Amino acid sequence: MATASEQRASHMRGVTVTAVSTLAGVAAAVASAWFLGTEPQSQLGLAVVGAFVFAQFPVLQVLGIDLADFSTKDHLYVMFMTFSLWFVTWTILLTSNVTF
């Protein structure tokens, strides 16, 4: 049975990974809107979100997350959360006609 400190560490790891991946998704959407403006048909938006997916792994290491413990499921989770928040946020920015 896991101790309270192990459960807390596991919970904090999950919260940290989720927070970083969602904030990276929002930042990728803002960057996409800034670089691409109102051109959602451009494939460059996927390159922007891909760059943010890969850029967050060093950030996770700095925050104390051991990436050696990451399974395929964890990597897919990070990619999915980043992509989802990017998609939703960029859609909101495009439909609101936000320009930078």
pLDDT, tens digit, for every residue of 55-76?
A: 999 999 999 999 998 999 999 9
Q: How many domains does the chain have?
A: 1
The reply to whether the predicted model has a pTM over 0.85 is yes
CA dihedral 93, 76, 22, 68 (to 10 degrees): -150
Mean pLDDT of 42-62: 93
- Neighbour tally for 100: CB within 10 Å: 9
Q: Which domain holds residue 51?
A: 4-95
Phi, psi of 88 (to 5 degrees): -65, -45
**Residue 1 pLDDT class (50, 70, 90 cuts):** low
Residue 39 pLDDT greater than 80, yes or no: no
Whether 87 maps to a domain, the answer reads: yes
Whether 66 maps to a domain, the answer reads: yes
Structure tokens at 82: 């980043």
* DSSP per position, 1-33: ---HHHHHHHHHHHHHHHHHHHHHHHHHHHHHH
